[in-house]
Amino acid sequence: MTVQIKSFQQDNQRAVNQFYKRFKQNVNCNRSDKIYVALDKSAANTAIVGAVIIRKTDNFLLFRSLYVAPEYRRQGLGAKLTQLALRGIKEQVYCLCQSELIDYYVDLNFRAAHNIKLESKQINSKIKKGYCLMQYP
């Protein structure tokens, strides 16, 4: 299996949206997002097997929708996608995660941001639903 981690071209965001949809993830990337993918080059056709999005909001960057196809997990692809996506970023980056993933994100150098209030109704509604706000670095 040959998997390549790379930045993805904005004009091809439909392929990334289809990847998320195939795994029943409620995610849509848009043209302004920075998208990073893991591509399996050994498949008959090159296939997206992992992805993550960096979305710029008015006040901060949002690291979102890190997902690796189940059969490709436990190979470090999530960590590699994260490293590439965050490389060189100087701005504050936040992500929302479910409580069972906090340790995973801590291993990726995020930390819990319990006392931070962001001016984002969408973010704050997720926090009220039990998601944890994480901050990088």
DSSP 11: G
Q: Range with the lowest mean pLDDT among 44-48, 66-70, 109-113?
A: 44-48
Can you list the domains of the chain with their CATH numbers?
3-136 (3.40.630.30)
Tokens of 73: 């997990």
Residue 43: which pLDDT band, with cuts at 50, 70 and 90? Answer: low
Distance from C-alpha of 98 to C-alpha of 46, rounded to nearest angstrom: 31
CA proximity to 66, closest of 45, 80, 56, 87 = 80
In angstroms, rounded to a whole number, what is the distance separating the alpha carbons of residues 115 and 15? 37
Measure CA of the first residue to CA of the last residue in the chain; give whole Å: 32
Stretch 109-119: mean pLDDT: 87
Tens of pLDDT along 48-58?
999 999 999 87
pLDDT at 120: 82
CA 13 to chain centre: 14
86 touches 63 (CB < 8 A)? yes
